[in-house]
């Protein structure tokens, strides 16, 4: 029997899978299943915490009122609150741990000098780094080693932003109307939406590839957690194809954009296209059913910068109407219902402490308005 090197990420898993498919026809699926199990064991959980022990049922909390319908689903996914009890508690105690109320009231007071108000805002962000991140970093990294890499980007600013998005999502009145499965999906999506985002010191400015890279990480993470499993040769091939078509989606940023680059500054020079989406999704749906937990988190991360959001901050590339109809419309409307809350709070997280230009309502009206129009689209 061939010795198969156990890999620690999806890329290597796919390479291993291809090796299996191409050159090891004698290997049984049982042996291949063992590889996947070894992969899961050797990843975030370690031998004492097998991935199939991940909490998958929700518990009640004071912060999140019970909604009807939660138990109707058998595809709840790993329970966010039980996976991250310290993070969950920190989000409940957010304004006890952090000087949120004082900072907001100071920053909203326009009689104060703008420089002083901005200084207080930066102090608040420093407080998130000093008082909040140390409480939860180890817990998140134990399940998501990707978080460790994210902490190295922009002096933890992406992590501060991410926690702001999760907090704002959970405070949103629309979040409270969702059933518990939808809330769980939204919390995971908020935590993971920028998980592969790059920035200083890698490069300056915007990262146009991170939604696609992040969506691949969603598959890596939930495969590791055994939220879904690869159970056949066809599924192994489909997984390799998802990765292949996601990689092929890279393209250079347009010259109209790159001509604004300053000399001597390193920028993100690639962006995704949408031209392989039908290949990505036809393969993905051989592995995870449409509208399942993983399918929804994958789409929310993948498309969080592919739909019109705030008019003053346009995306590099948006989905075309026929693409939105194919990939965003669900029979129960779940994707758009969750996406509008994610997109709004992605933007809102930058202004929830200090909203100098009164954009809270503007952003909400624009984002919810665009999504409402998308919901009405038909061929």
Residues found near Fe ion in the complex (CB under 5 A): 194, 346
Nearest distance in Å: CB 297, Fe ion: 15
Please identify, using beta-carbon distances, which residue of 194 and 237 lies nearer to Fe ion: 194
CA angle 134, 348, 367 (to 5 degrees): 145
Please identify, using beta-carbon distances, which residue of 193 and 370 lies nearer to Fe ion: 193
CA angle 223, 227, 228 (to 5 degrees): 65
SS3 call for 67? coil
Rg of the chain over Cα atoms, rounded to whole angstroms, equals 21
Nearest distance in Å: CB 190, Fe ion: 9
SS3 call for 204? strand
Nearest distance in Å: CB 66, Fe ion: 29
Burial of 68 from C-beta contacts in 10 A (0-12 / 13-18 / 19+) = exposed
Distance of CA 188 to the CA centre of its chain: 7
Q: How far apart are CA 252 and CA 271, in angstroms?
A: 6
Please identify, using beta-carbon distances, which residue of 36 and 185 lies nearer to Fe ion: 185
- 86: its two tokens: 């310290």
Nearest distance in Å: CB 97, Fe ion: 21
In 3D space, the residue among 93, 97, 126, 120 whose CA is nearest the CA of residue 108 turns out to be 120
Nearest distance in Å: CB 289, Fe ion: 27
Nearest distance in Å: CB 85, Fe ion: 24
Please identify, using beta-carbon distances, which residue of 76 and 167 lies nearer to Fe ion: 167
Nearest distance in Å: CB 259, Fe ion: 26
Nearest distance in Å: CB 158, Fe ion: 8
Please identify, using beta-carbon distances, which residue of 182 and 346 lies nearer to Fe ion: 346
Please identify, using beta-carbon distances, which residue of 17 and 162 lies nearer to Fe ion: 162
Please identify, using beta-carbon distances, which residue of 172 and 346 lies nearer to Fe ion: 346
Please identify, using beta-carbon distances, which residue of 78 and 164 lies nearer to Fe ion: 164
Q: How far apart are CA 263 and CA 110, in angstroms?
A: 38
Instruction: Judge contact between 233 and 173, C-beta under 8 A.
Output: no
- 20: its two tokens: 């299996």
Helix, strand, coil shares of the chain, percent, nearest 5, are 60, 0, 40
Distance of CA 16 to the CA centre of its chain: 26
Helix and strand element counts for the chain (H, E): 20, 2
Instruction: Judge contact between 371 and 334, C-beta under 8 A.
Output: no
- 232: its two tokens: 């056949």
């Amino acid at each position: 029997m061939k010795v198969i090197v156990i890999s620690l990420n999806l890329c290597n898993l796919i390479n291993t899978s291809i090796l299996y498919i191409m050159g090891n026809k004698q290997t049984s699926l049982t042996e291949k299943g063992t590889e996947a199990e070894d992969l899961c064991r050797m990843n975030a959980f370690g031998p004492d915490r097998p991935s199939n022990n991940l909490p998958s049922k929700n518990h009640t909390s004071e912060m999140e009122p019970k909604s009807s319908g939660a138990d109707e689903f058998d595809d709840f996914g790993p329970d966010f609150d039980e996976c991250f009890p310290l993070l969950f508690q920190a989000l409940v105690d957010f304004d006890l741990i952090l000087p949120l109320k004082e900072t907001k009231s100071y920053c909203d007071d326009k009689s104060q000098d703008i420089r002083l108000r901005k200084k207080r805002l930066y102090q608040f962000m420093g407080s998130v780094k000093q008082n909040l991140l140390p409480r939860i970093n180890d817990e998140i990294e134990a399940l998501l080693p990707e978080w460790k890499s994210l902490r190295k980007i922009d002096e933890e600013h992406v992590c501060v932003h991410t926690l702001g998005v999760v907090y704002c999502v959970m405070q949103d009145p629309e979040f409270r109307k969702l059933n518990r499965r939808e809330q769980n999906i939204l919390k995971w999506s908020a935590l993971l939406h920028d998980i592969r985002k790059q920035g200083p010191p890698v490069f300056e400015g915007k990262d146009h590839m991170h939604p696609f890279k992040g969506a691949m990480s969603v598959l890596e993470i939930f495969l590791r957690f055994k939220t879904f499993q690869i159970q056949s040769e066809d599924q192994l091939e489909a997984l390799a194809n998802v990765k292949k078509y996601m990689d092929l989606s890279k393209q250079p940023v347009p010259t109209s954009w790159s001509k604004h680059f300053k000399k001597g500054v390193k920028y993100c020079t690639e962006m995704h296209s949408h031209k392989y989406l039908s290949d990505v999704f036809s393969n993905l749906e051989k592995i995870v059913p449409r509208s399942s937990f993983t399918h929804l988190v994958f789409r929310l991360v993948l498309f969080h910068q592919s739909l019109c959001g705030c008019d003053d901050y346009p995306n590099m590339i948006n989905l075309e109407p026929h693409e939105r109809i194919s990939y965003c419309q669900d029979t129960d409307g779940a994707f758009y219902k969750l996406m509008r809350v994610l997109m709004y709070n992605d933007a809102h997280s930058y202004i929830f402490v200090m909203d100098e230009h009164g954009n809270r309502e503007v952003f909400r009206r624009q984002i919810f308005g665009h999504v409402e129009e998308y919901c009405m689209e038909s061929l």
